């Protein structure tokens, strides 16, 4: 097994809620509340979960755009959890980010040339072939016309803008790229192009990706391992095929069953296996005690409310398959038509 | 894409390929900046262009005032008693004495040339208006950026100061301050000393208007992903402020600067009308209006001319400012 590039342990990010004239803290949004995982060099780790589960916050903690409230972020053996802006600057060369919204991630007042050369200028990276040539090489690398050097972002389509964002992230030749829903804002035909581009670049430059998404089929296509998040915590993490074939956590099962089946012949079966969750995701300001999924889980019992299940190997899973559930779903368990029992929060 | 070395250098002139611009109207133009688009839109706005022409004309008049007076008028403080009715002291002739010799007539009682006084007054009025707008813009931009970007207690303090200044009775304060200050200082002469004070007072009370807008825009821009992207590249705050945020704030700052200029003209006129503006015999539009109050029944032209000039100037600036805002507003694209 290859070495770990990034390790996070007990990672927390709480956003304070303040009230009144003196900004008294009255609570906190626990966006990320204790996640442990490692990213191996050269792999793609998919991070999935529904809106508001803390995926993007987690990505911003990995790249240290945000400072964690608790826990550690260790990159290549260095603890970077609480380094300041100046101490982080050398790290920026190795860790880059691709953003979700291609319409707000590029400054509308800068030319494409200025946007892509910014990382080289900020990091003082020498360009023997000249800055302009370097930018044009990057443009070509991501499949854009190098002549569009002097154009402005508003002159490009969403997919092309996302390619500009990728070129900017690549400029520093990083080791790790955290891609925060890089294709969610694009339409399906463009999604495939961008995902394939990311795939090609990974092979060419030995990149490691943390790929944040809510689209399970995209994640399945690109990831080696997948981590499933629910309400600020990782509930299950496994090799891709293992996770998609044998989901253990009831939440993962429900999430998988929500993927639309494009084949009408198979649709009937899919319909029967469909797990319908009721209710909403509980508020991250005041998450449920014990297991966070218990309020919507059909297998919940008393122990789920009192004891938080640790993220460990369950049943006869391989060493790499970790699940945080007291009652993991067994292989042939029929879950169809199951409704969560109404448990008081 | 295979291109010769010379082709990749001349990127402005080469035609964009099909994958470039989706919008059909923009196909032929390579790399149009938002500035160029705004200029194109402004050129189509006839009313704004008319306003801009009047503004440019007024600036030229103010700059060339000494020459214009020499060619078409008389020194602004030279009395022409021969132009007045000896018993009533009102101008001889129709419409307040308008003639080839005196283009806008003469003042009652003193017989000074109104044309000279108007264009000489334009100099003072426009200097006060532009300089105080400049002061407001600088203060407003600096404090607004600080409040929006730094947030926290800095934002609280600056926002409270802005609220305080906006609630302050600035006209009363200006009257009180101007009446106790000495008439001349720094060896500037009484005219420019007073201009200096007016610029300070009007500029100081004007900055919260721009400050609020800059603060609000900064707050929303700060959350945009390109700021995060810049931060994730390791950029320092200075670069984020001046390279990422300020170019996006240029449009609103420019628009509000052009829109506070007419307000400043009116404030200066009001202060001169109330007798605390430019000291006599130096002419100012507000001061002329104030002098005309006594005569409006027997010599209405004396009031109509400065009033009309103020009206046209303020209108022209407002129309130009509105046109500029429409042209620069990215949402209307």
pLDDT of residue A83: 86
Q: What is the mean pLDDT of chain A?
A: 85
Q: At a CB cut-off of 8 Å and minimum separation 6, what does B161 contact?
A: B143, B208
Residue B10 has pLDDT above 60, yes or no: no
* pLDDT tens by residue, B71-120: 777 777 777 777 677 776 677 777 766 777 766 777 777 778 888 888 88
pLDDT of residue A335: 59
pLDDT of residue B133: 92
Closest alpha carbon within chain A to B1 = A145
CATH number of B46-332: 1.10.3720.10
Q: How many CB atoms lie within 10 A of CB A292?
A: 26
Chain A positions touching B330 (Cβ under 8 A) are 108
Inter-chain CB proximity A107 and B247 less than 8 Å = yes
Percentage of residues in chain B having pLDDT higher than 70: 83
pLDDT of residue A209: 93
Residue A113 and residue A35 share a domain: no
Q: At a CB cut-off of 8 Å and minimum separation 6, what does B120 contact?
A: B65, B69, B76, B282, B283
Nearest chain A CA: its distance from B248 CA (Å): 7
Residue A152 and residue A12 share a domain: no
Can you tell me the distance from the alpha carbon of A61 to that of B304, in angstroms, rounded to the nearest whole number?
A: 68
Inter-chain CB proximity A147 and B31 less than 8 Å = no
Instruction: Name which residue leads in pLDDT, B90 or A312.
Output: A312
Residue A79 and residue A125 share a domain: no
Domains in chain A, number: 3
Residue A89 and residue A142 share a domain: no
Asked if the C-beta of B231 comes within 8 angstroms of chain A's C-beta atoms, the answer is yes
Closest alpha carbon within chain A to B251 = A109
Confidence of residue A127 (pLDDT cuts 50, 70, 90): confident
Asked if the C-beta of B20 comes within 8 angstroms of chain A's C-beta atoms, the answer is yes
Of B32, B33, B235, the CB nearest to A122: B235
Angle (nearest 5°) at CA A236 between A233 and A237: 110
Percentage of residues in chain A having pLDDT higher than 90: 18
pLDDT of residue B274: 85
pLDDT of residue A98: 92
Residue A124 has pLDDT above 50, yes or no: yes
Q: How many CB atoms lie within 10 A of CB B35?
A: 14
What's the half-sphere exposure (Cβ side, CA atoms, 13 Å) at A326?
18
Residue B18 has pLDDT above 90, yes or no: no
Of B224, B225, B230, the CB nearest to A118: B230
Domain region containing A21: 1-94+174-189+204-223
What is the domain partition of chain B in residue ranges? 46-332
Residue A143 and residue A265 share a domain: no
Residue A304 and residue A266 share a domain: yes
Asked if the C-beta of B14 comes within 8 angstroms of chain A's C-beta atoms, the answer is yes
Confidence of residue A228 (pLDDT cuts 50, 70, 90): very high
Residue A118 and residue A8 share a domain: no
Nearest chain B CA: its distance from A265 CA (Å): 38
Instruction: Of B136, B145, B126, give the one whose Cα is nearest residue B170.
Output: B136
pLDDT of residue A2: 53
Asked if the C-beta of A191 comes within 8 angstroms of chain B's C-beta atoms, the answer is no
Of A97, A152, A165, the CB nearest to B33: A152
Chain A positions touching B220 (Cβ under 8 A) are none
Q: At a CB cut-off of 8 Å and minimum separation 6, what does A56 contact?
A: A100, A180, A181, A212
Can you tell me the distance from the alpha carbon of A12 to that of A69, in angstroms, rounded to the nearest whole number?
A: 5
Nearest chain A CA: its distance from B229 CA (Å): 7
Q: At a CB cut-off of 8 Å and minimum separation 6, what does A109 contact?
A: A152, B33, B34, B247, B248, B250
Q: What is the mean pLDDT of chain B?
A: 79
Nearest chain A CA: its distance from B199 CA (Å): 33
Residue B332 has pLDDT above 50, yes or no: no
Residue A135 has pLDDT above 70, yes or no: yes
pLDDT of residue B261: 86
Nearest chain B CA: its distance from A42 CA (Å): 21
| B217 phi, psi to nearest 5 deg | -65, -40
pLDDT of residue A320: 81
Chain B positions touching A157 (Cβ under 8 A) are 22
Asked if the C-beta of A40 comes within 8 angstroms of chain B's C-beta atoms, the answer is no
| SS3 call for B47 | helix
Give domain status of residue A235, yes or no: no
Cβ atoms B195, B128 nearer than 8 A = yes
Cβ atoms A299, A43 nearer than 8 A = no
Can you tell me the distance from the alpha carbon of B127 to that of A330, in angstroms, rounded to the nearest whole number?
A: 83
The gap from C-alpha B238 to its chain's centroid, in whole angstroms, comes to 29
Lowest pLDDT segment from A165-169, B37-41, B225-229, B270-274: B37-41
Asked if the C-beta of A56 comes within 8 angstroms of chain B's C-beta atoms, the answer is no
Residue A3 has pLDDT above 80, yes or no: no
| Phi and psi based region of residue A30 (left: phi greater than 0; alpha: psi -120 to 50; beta: remaining) | beta
Residue A272 and residue A146 share a domain: no
Nearest chain B CA: its distance from A196 CA (Å): 18
pLDDT of residue B135: 94
Residue A52 and residue A180 share a domain: yes
Chain pair A-B, CB pairs under 8 angstroms? 107
Closest alpha carbon within chain A to B245 = A107
Asked if the C-beta of B4 comes within 8 angstroms of chain A's C-beta atoms, the answer is no
Residue A337 and residue A253 share a domain: yes
Of A105, A106, A155, the CB nearest to B21: A155
Residue A183 and residue A88 share a domain: yes
Mean pLDDT, rounded, for A334-338: 54
Closest alpha carbon within chain B to A158 = B22
Mutation to test the B interface, candidates A20, A123, A138, A155, most B Cβ within 10 Å: A155
Residue A129 and residue A14 share a domain: no
Lowest pLDDT segment from A188-202, A271-285, B136-150, B296-310: A271-285
pLDDT of residue A263: 74
**CB-neighbour burial class of residue B183 (10 A; exposed 0-12, middle 13-18, buried 19+):** exposed
| A78 phi, psi to nearest 5 deg | -100, 130
Inter-chain CB proximity A107 and B226 less than 8 Å = yes
Which pTM does this prediction carry? Answer: 0.77
Lowest pLDDT segment from B96-100, B216-220, B308-312: B96-100
Inter-chain CB proximity B30 and A150 less than 8 Å = yes
Can you tell me the distance from the alpha carbon of A256 to that of A245, in angstroms, rounded to the nearest whole number?
A: 10
Asked if the C-beta of B82 comes within 8 angstroms of chain A's C-beta atoms, the answer is no
Inter-chain CB proximity A148 and B20 less than 8 Å = yes
DSSP string, B254-276: HHHHHHHHHHHHHHHHHHHHTT-
What's the half-sphere exposure (Cβ side, CA atoms, 13 Å) at B62?
21
Confidence of residue A345 (pLDDT cuts 50, 70, 90): very low
Residue A162 has pLDDT above 50, yes or no: yes
Closest alpha carbon within chain A to B20 = A156
* pLDDT tens by residue, A238-250: 998 888 888 888 8
pLDDT of residue B25: 41
Give domain status of residue A166, yes or no: yes
Q: At what angle do helices B46-63 and B301-328 cross, to 10 degrees?
A: 130
- How much is the ipTM here? 0.80
Asked if the C-beta of B67 comes within 8 angstroms of chain A's C-beta atoms, the answer is no
Inter-chain CB proximity A89 and B234 less than 8 Å = yes
* pLDDT tens by residue, A17-47: 888 777 778 888 888 888 888 899 889 999 9
């Amino acid at each position: 097994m290859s070495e770990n590039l990034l390790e996070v342990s007990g990672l927390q990010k709480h956003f304070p809620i303040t009230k009144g004239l003196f900004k008294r803290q009255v609570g906190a949004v626990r966006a990320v509340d204790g996640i442990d995982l490692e990213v191996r060099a050269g792999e793609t780790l998919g991070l999935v979960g529904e809106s508001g589960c803390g995926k993007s916050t987690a990505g911003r903690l990995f790249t240290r755009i945000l400072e964690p409230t608790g826990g550690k972020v260790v990159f290549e053996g260095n603890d970077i959890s609480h380094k300041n802006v100046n101490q982080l600057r050398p790290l920026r060369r190795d860790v880059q980010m691709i953003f979700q919204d291609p319409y707000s991630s590029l400054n509308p007042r800068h030319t494409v040339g200025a946007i892509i050369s910014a990382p080289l200028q900020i990091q003082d990276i020498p360009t023997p072939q000249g800055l302009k040539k370097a930018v044009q090489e990057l443009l070509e690398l991501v499949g854009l016309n190098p002549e569009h050097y002097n154009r402005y972002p508003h002159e490009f389509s969403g997919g092309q803008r996302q390619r500009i964002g990728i070129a900017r992230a690549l400029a520093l030749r990083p080791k790790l790229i955290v891609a925060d829903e890089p294709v969610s804002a694009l339409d399906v035909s463009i999604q495939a192009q961008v995902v394939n581009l990311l795939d090609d670049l990974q092979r060419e430059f030995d990149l490691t990706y943390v790929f944040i998404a809510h689209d399970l089929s995209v994640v399945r296509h690109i990831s080696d391992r997948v981590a499933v998040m629910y309400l600020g915590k990782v509930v299950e993490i496994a090799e891709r095929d293992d996770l998609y074939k044998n989901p253990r956590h009831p939440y993962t099962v429900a999430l998988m069953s929500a993927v639309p089946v494009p084949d009408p012949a198979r649709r009937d079966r899919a319909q029967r296996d469909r797990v319908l969750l009721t209710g909403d995701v509980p508020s991250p300001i005041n998450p449920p005690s014990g297991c966070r999924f218990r309020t919507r889980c059909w297998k919940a019992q008393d122990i789920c409310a009192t004891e938080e299940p640790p993220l460990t190997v369950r049943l006869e899973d391989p060493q790499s398959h970790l699940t945080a559930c007291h009652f993991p779903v067994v292989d042939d368990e029929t879950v169809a038509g199951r409704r969560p029992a109404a448990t008081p929060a | 894409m295979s291109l010769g070395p010379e082709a990749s250098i001349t990127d402005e002139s080469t035609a964009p390929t099909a994958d470039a611009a989706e919008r059909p109207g923009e196909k032929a133009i390579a790399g149009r900046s938002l500035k160029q688009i705004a200029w194109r839109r402004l050129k189509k706005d006839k009313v704004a262009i008319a306003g801009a022409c009047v503004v440019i004309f007024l600036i030229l008049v103010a700059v060339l005032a000494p020459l214009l007076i020499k060619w078409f008028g008389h020194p602004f403080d030279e009395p022409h008693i021969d132009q007045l009715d000896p018993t009533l002291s009102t101008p001889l002739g129709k419409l307040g004495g308008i003639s080839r010799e005196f283009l806008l007539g003469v003042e009652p009682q003193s017989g000074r040339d109104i044309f000279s006084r108007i264009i000489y007054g334009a100099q003072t009025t426009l200097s006060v208006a532009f300089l105080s707008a400049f002061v407001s813009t600088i203060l407003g931009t600096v404090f607004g950026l600080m409040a929006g970007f730094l947030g926290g207690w800095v934002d609280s303090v600056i926002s409270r100061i802005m609220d305080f200044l906006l609630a302050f009775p600035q006209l009363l304060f200006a009257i009180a301050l101007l009446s106790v200050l000495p008439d001349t200082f720094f060896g500037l002469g009484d005219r420019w000393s007073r201009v200096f004070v007016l610029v300070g007072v009007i500029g100081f009370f004007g900055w919260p208007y721009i400050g609020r807008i800059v603060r609000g825009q900064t707050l929303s821009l700060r959350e945009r992903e390109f700021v995060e992207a810049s931060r994730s590249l390791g950029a320092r705050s200075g670069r984020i402020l001046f390279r990422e945020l300020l170019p996006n704030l240029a449009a609103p700052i420019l628009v509000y600067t052009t829109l506070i200029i007419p307000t400043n003209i009116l404030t200066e006129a009001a202060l001169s009308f109330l007798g605390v503006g430019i000291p006599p015999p130096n002419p100012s539009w507000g001061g002329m209006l104030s002098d005309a109050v006594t005569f409006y029944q027997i010599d209405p032209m004396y009031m109509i001319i400065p009033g009309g000039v103020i009206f046209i100037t303020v209108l022209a600036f407002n129309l130009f400012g509105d046109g500029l805002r429409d042209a620069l507003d990215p949402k209307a694209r």
